[in-house]
Structure 1
Amino acid sequence: MTTYVLIPGAGAGPWSWHLLADELRRRGRQVVAVDLPCEDDEAGLAEYADTVVRAVGDRRELVLVAHSFGGFTAPLVCDRLPVRLLVMLQALVPAPGETPGEWWADTGHAAARQAEDERGDWDPDDTTALFLHDTPPEVAAELLRRGREQSATPFQKPWPLAAWPAVPTRVLLARDDRFLPVDFMRRVVRERLGITPDEMPGDHCPMLGHPVELADRLEAYESAL
């Protein structure tokens, strides 16, 4: 049986996946929503990968779904477990030897954000407007209430892989994200993976705003293997 392994972004926990997880379970899938040690200043990317491996246990038929900063962890797991498919959901794509802290300048994120802010009519200092404008308000409020501290430790060491893992990879972008604008993400994905990404509606957290459509997309990817 397919097991979806859901890896959250920075400062997020398993709750960020709960709507998608419920939808996948209704379809008969196993789901592991990983609880990363994001508050732990002793934990870096290696410890994040260890946490995912422990959470998976002896499950197989694995589909990894990495959101946002989870994109730095998921490929490390692919090097250690028999992953059938890696789905990068609005996820940061690392380069060999790059620290997560360097990713923003290396990719030109600041200029992309500035251009996006200038095109819009929102307050870029409003967390909800920036990250969660397409999420139901009550869900967005609960996510922010459950927000966790994110240690800087995993941002400081270079990403250790010499190349992208030899695992089938799909990239799915949220076309309405204001934090990681879609034009910017298309370029990063093309330059770093040579992949033309797929796109769906949604802000930075499409698993909360569009869980049914996201489940449909994941199931289509899985069935095409």
Structure 2
Amino acid sequence: MTNFVLVAGAWLGAWAWDEVAAELRAAGHDVHPLTLSGLAEKQGMAAGQQTHVQDIVDEVERLDLREVVLVGHSYAGVPVGQAAERMGDRLTRMVFVDAMVPVDGESSLSGWPSEEVRDAIAATGFWPPLAAEDFAGQGLTDEQIARIVTGATPHPGATTTDPAVLSGDLGELPTTYVKCLLDGAEPWGAAAELLKSDHWDLVTMDTGHWPMFSQPRELARLLHESATRP
């Protein structure tokens, strides 16, 4: 039986996966959405990048999960990639959903225009959530945008500025990368390079950066299919 561990991106908690989780459970999978430290119901907990990595590892070990498909959306791809290489034979596959990919020694903010974000983190210690207008053009209804904005919480800044720590080559781990086309036609940065590996597959969704809200059934279908890939 497949165990899906679902980790949402910046500002979001386990609640973001409600609809996707329901679809996967209906298909017979065990599903474990995870809120990272400092977010949602875990607000107030101190967190750096390695805290989030350990959150994921601890959850898998606490539940003694096997046959794990580890899913990271957006920012969460960075701790998910690091956690995956620490899971050994518990891991079946990684899935990056329009996600950042960790690079050893680099932070989540490396490689993209982020001075405004860095300035906010320096001033407050947090990456502030987006406003409703920032979700335009991402395939979301007004109701879906309102749900995200209402549920979002400030993201602990150190998790985005601390460096990733990798000991191996992520290209050797079985991986599916889901690219959401309304947020750019091609994966960029480290993801583009890793997709040259024979162990990595690319699939696309005709939606924006938050498919767990805009197309939860389709995302669940792709996750279900990822669990059966060799």
With normalisation by structure 1, the TM-score equals: 0.81
Superposed counterparts of 1:144-159, under 5 Å: 144-159=149-164
Secondary structure, in 3 states, of the residue corresponding to 1:12?
A: coil
Contact 1:96–1:163 (8 Å) recurs in 2? no
Contact 1:132–1:140 (8 Å) recurs in 2? no
Counterparts of 1:100 and 1:6 in 2: how far apart (Å)? 19
Q: Could you say if the C-alpha distance between residues 126 and 51 of structure 1 is closer, same or farther in structure 2, counting changes exceeding 3 Å?
A: closer
**Matching residue within 66, 70, 91 for 2:76:** 70
Contact 1:42–1:153 (8 Å) recurs in 2? no
CA distances 1:153-192 after superposition (whole Å, capped 9, x unpaired): 1122211114433320110111112xxxx23525652234
Unpaired runs of 5+ residues, structure 1, are: 111-124
Task: For residue 35 of structure 1, report the CA deviation from its aligned partner.
Answer: 0.7
Tell me the residue number matched to 1:87: 95
Contact 2:98–2:177 (8 Å) recurs in 1? yes
Counterparts of 1:78 and 1:36 in 2: how far apart (Å)? 15
Contact 2:132–2:145 (8 Å) recurs in 1? no
Task: For residue 136 of structure 1, report the CA deviation from its aligned partner.
Answer: 3.0
Tell me the residue number matched to 2:227: 222
Q: Could you say if the C-alpha distance between residues 30 and 131 of structure 1 is closer, same or farther in structure 2, counting changes exceeding 3 Å?
A: farther
Tell me the residue number matched to 2:193: 191
The percentage of aligned residue pairs carrying the same residue is 27
**Matching residue within 135, 139, 146 for 1:141:** 146
Counterparts of 2:137 and 2:3 in 1: how far apart (Å)? 27
Q: Could you say if the C-alpha distance between residues 53 and 11 of structure 1 is closer, same or farther in structure 2, counting changes exceeding 3 Å?
A: same
Tell me the residue number matched to 1:34: 34
Contact 1:41–1:151 (8 Å) recurs in 2? no
Contact 2:77–2:101 (8 Å) recurs in 1? yes
Q: Could you say if the C-alpha distance between residues 40 and 47 of structure 1 is closer, same or farther in structure 2, counting changes exceeding 3 Å?
A: farther
Query: Which shifted more, 54-63 or 145-154?
Result: 54-63
Give the CA RMSD over aligned residues.
2.4
Contact 1:72–1:100 (8 Å) recurs in 2? yes
Unpaired runs of 5+ residues, structure 2, are: 116-129
